Amino acid sequence: MPKISIQPQHNGIALIVEDEVTNRMILKALLKKHGYNVIEAENGAEAIQHFKKQSPDIIFMDVMMPVMDGYEAASEIKRLAGDQFVPIIFLTAMSDEKALARCVEVGGDDFLSKPYSFTVLSAKVKAMERIRTLHRDTRMLYSRMQRDEEIAEQVFSGAVIAGNVALEHIRSLLKPASVFSGDLMLTAFAPSHDLHVLLGDFTGHGLAAALGALPTSEAFRSMTAKGFAPQQILFAINNKLHDLLPTGMFLAAQFVKIDHQLDHISIINCGMPDCYLIENESMRLKYEIASKSLPLGIAPDIDFRDDFHHLRVDEGDRVILATDGVTEARDLNGELFGQKRFIEAIRKSDSSSYIMDKLAKDLEAFCQDAPQDDDISVVEVPLIRELLPGWESGSHHFVTDGDMPQNLFSHEQPDCIEFQLILYGSQLRQADPVPILINYIQETAGLHEHRRPLFTILTELYINALDHGVLQLDSMLKQGEDGFTNYFQQREQRLEALTKGQIRIGLRIHQNNNSGYIVITVEDSGHGFEFKTLSQHVTNETLYSGRGIMLVKSLVKQLQFFEPGNKAEAIYVWEDKL
């Protein structure tokens, strides 16, 4: 029977770096018993050349050698190896603690004392092999994790970021601390052409912090598109995050609504650093908006209405939103960038350019190559006409001139859909009927292309009935630097105390193939207002009264008021071109 010889398992290539021939021979014999192919070098310079050409799996390095010693060779080999783990075991008979410490400093992973013991050598080799296997598995898992994060980041960008609007005018500085950012910027147009902007900062950063961005963006975009008010959107996001996020995780946020008439903004700060309204020409800080409300997701059913700031603005002003990653950015010495430097960058910016340009340069010069601890996000929103969209053009249009349709006020036409909604007392304080009505119109009549003008008409007529009819507010309160603040404060106070009064909204929709019209009637229980002098008020561009009604008038075929002024009827006519 033939004799079977058992060959030792091949464990790779071992490099022996030793100037003494005898020591090399002994160590070579021991390593071959362990299944290694052995290559030899007489000094550090030769060792580096062998490493470049043959990529050994383990290196045994003497310290004292001619040409190049072990310290220098080990340091260079570790540099060349990069992320790859190549264990270096120093061969030494030294007992000097400083010399041994230096071996570790230059990249040594272990020591082997002379004279060599096969038992000790075996134990050290097996230990290095276990570490190398662990290192390889870790690298493989890390590589897989990076691939998964890159794929998830693409999905995240498509689902969250790609839907943003007005980015050609909004300037932002978004620097994540890792592949995923825990900061979130969302922008969307409401049917009224108001622009909503949300800047948020989830607890922590990375993938875990970014997970809440998906439900947040979904609620933000869908509710903005349906015409819900900012406080309603925040209410919904807050409750959704409270149900989804684990304890201790939340979303600090800044939310600004830019009115389509560019005369005022509504802004709230929920647990974020101060945000700013900047005057265009002087770069003066007109307002600093500090946090008044809890971050989102901490407690359910938060009413955000009282925490909004309603500020008068002028065209060309700018809104600056920022997360705490900006003021808490560190330089190489650990010093914070701070709020003072932030404000200084704003004040020293050129009014003819973006503030973001100056701020980005100052941040880069300050931080240099210091590690980034947190996500950095700043958003600059210039309050300019180009920021907001015009009425959409396409294969359909609304009709504001020409002859009126025949039998316009007939209730007997066969293709007629009629709907009436009445809100009483406290319902006026809590409900927003316009998104409900718009949804009804779309579901029953399918007028998706006319969503924006219809939303504006309904909103302006309803707000006119509520503010001036039921609440008896005077638009002249809006005049002056703090006019909008005073107006909305009085509005909230009167709404809170409201127990009676009513508003009736009626819709009558007539369709005929590709054309049709809607009769919108809004009637309140108030005493009415002097609608006969309305056009005289609007000719004065410095006054804010009557602008909404004149906007409605520009969108409809006919707008009329009935005595004593508490009932309005608007007729919207359309004709879709095929």
User: Which pLDDT value is given to residue 339?
Assistant: 92
Pairing of strands 251-258, 264-270: antiparallel
Residues 495 and 548 in one domain: yes
Residues 427 and 561 in one domain: yes
User: Which pLDDT value is given to residue 393?
Assistant: 44
Residues 170 and 131 in one domain: no
Residues 326 and 421 in one domain: no
79-113 per-residue burial string, b: 16 or more CB within 10 A, e: under 16: eeeeeebbbbbbbbeeeeeeebebbeebbbbbebe
Residues 452 and 519 in one domain: yes
Residues 303 and 441 in one domain: no
d(CA 354, CA 357): 6
pLDDT in tens, 322-343: 999 999 999 999 999 999 999 9
pLDDT in tens, 56-84: 989 998 888 888 988 899 999 999 988 88
CATH code of the domain covering residue 235: 3.60.40.10
238 lies in some domain: yes
- How many CB atoms neighbour CB 432 within 10 A? 17
Of 79, 102, 137, the position where a domain reaches its end is: 137
The DSSP code sequence of 468-504 is: IIIS---GGGG-STTHHHHHHHHHHHHHHT--S-EEE
Q: Is the pLDDT of residue 374 over 90?
A: no
The first and second tokens of residue 252, run together, are 């600090």
144 lies in some domain: no
State in Å, rounded, how far the first CA of the chain is from the last one.
Answer: 94
pLDDT in tens, 465-507: 998 889 988 888 887 778 888 888 888 888 888 888 899 999 9
In Å, how far from its chain's centre is CA 474? 38
User: Which pLDDT value is given to residue 404?
Assistant: 56
Pairing of strands 502-512, 515-524: antiparallel
C-alpha radius of gyration, the chain, whole number: 36
User: Which pLDDT value is given to residue 543?
Assistant: 47
pLDDT in tens, 287-310: 999 999 999 999 999 999 889 999
4 lies in some domain: no
Of 325, 355, 387, the position where a domain reaches its end is: 387
pLDDT in tens, 503-552: 999 999 888 777 788 999 999 998 876 666 665 554 454 545 567 888 88
Higher-pLDDT residue of 132 and 178 is 132
Residues 238 and 276 in one domain: yes
Number of compact structural domains in the chain: 3
pLDDT in tens, 153-164: 777 777 778 889
Residues 476 and 515 in one domain: yes
The first and second tokens of residue 498, run together, are 């409201």
Q: Is the pLDDT of residue 286 over 60?
A: yes
Provide φ and ψ at 416, rounded to 5°: -125, 130
Of 137, 152, 177, the position where a domain reaches its end is: 137
CATH code of the domain covering residue 543: 3.30.565.10
CATH code of the domain covering residue 49: 3.40.50.2300
Q: CB of 351 within 8 A of CB of 284?
A: no
154 lies in some domain: no
218 lies in some domain: yes
Residues 196 and 268 in one domain: yes
Domain that holds residue 281: 163-387
pTM over 0.85, yes/no: no
477 lies in some domain: yes
In Å, how far from its chain's centre is CA 410? 51
- Closest Cα to residue 469, out of 392, 529, 403, 409? 529
Tell me 353's DSSP state.
S
Q: What is the dihedral of CA 530, 532, 534, 535, to 10 degrees?
A: -170
pLDDT in tens, 224-281: 998 899 999 999 999 999 999 888 899 999 999 999 889 899 999 999 999 999 998 8
**Mean pLDDT for the chain overall:** 85
* SS3 per residue for 39-73: EEECCHHHHHHHHHHHCCCEEEEECCCCCCCHHHH
pLDDT in tens, 192-229: 889 999 999 998 766 666 778 889 999 999 999 988 99
Place 311 in a pLDDT band, splitting at 50, 70 and 90.
very high
Helices (H) and strands (E) in the chain, counts: 17, 21
70-76's contacts with Cβ under 8 Å and 24+ in sequence apart are: 70/17, 70/44, 70/103, 71/102, 71/103, 71/106, 72/44, 72/106, 73/17, 73/43, 73/44, 73/45, 73/47, 73/48, 74/44, 74/103, 74/106, 74/107, 74/108, 75/106, 75/107, 76/44, 76/48
Place 446 in a pLDDT band, splitting at 50, 70 and 90.
confident
Of 175-179, 310-314, 315-319, 412-416, the range with the lowest mean pLDDT is 412-416
In Å, how far from its chain's centre is CA 365? 25
330-351 per-residue burial string, b: 16 or more CB within 10 A, e: under 16: beeeeeebebebbbebbeebee
Residues 382 and 401 in one domain: no
292 lies in some domain: yes
Residues 361 and 428 in one domain: no
User: Which pLDDT value is given to residue 205?
Assistant: 64
Residues 275 and 344 in one domain: yes
Q: Is the pLDDT of residue 560 over 80?
A: yes
Q: CB of 62 within 8 A of CB of 73?
A: no
Higher-pLDDT residue of 399 and 3 is 399
User: Which pLDDT value is given to residue 488?
Assistant: 86
pLDDT in tens, 1-36: 454 444 445 668 999 999 888 888 988 888 888 888
The one-letter code for the residue type at 385 is: R
Q: Is the pLDDT of residue 394 over 50?
A: no
272 lies in some domain: yes
User: What mean pLDDT do residues 419-427 have?
Assistant: 87
